[in-house]
Amino acid sequence: MKKNRALVFILMSFSVSAHGAALPGDAAVGKKLHDANCTACHTDSVYQRKDRQVTNLDMLKNQMKACGHAMNITLGKKQMDDLVKYLNDTYYKFK
Domain boundaries, the chain: 25-92
Output the 3-class SS for 20-68: HHCCCCCHHHHHHHHHHHCCCCCCCHHHHCCCCCCCCHHHHHHHHHHHH
Distance CA(88)–CA(56), nearest Å, equals 9
pLDDT at residue 3, as a whole number:
55
Taking CA atoms, 95 is separated from 2, 61, 69, 84, in Å, by: 30, 13, 26, 12
pLDDT at 19: 43
Report the alpha-carbon distance of residue 70 to residue 2 in Å, rounded: 57
Could you state, in chain order, the average pLDDT of each consecutive group of 10 residues for the chain (95 residues)? 49 44 90 94 92 94 91 93 97 93
- pLDDT attached to residue 14: 45
Note the pLDDT of residue 95: 86
Per-residue pLDDT, 22: 77
CATH topology of domain 25-92: Cytochrome Bc1 Complex; Chain D, domain 2 (1.10.760)
pLDDT at residue 1, as a whole number? 53
Helix, strand or coil for residue 75? coil
**Per-residue pLDDT at 8:** 44
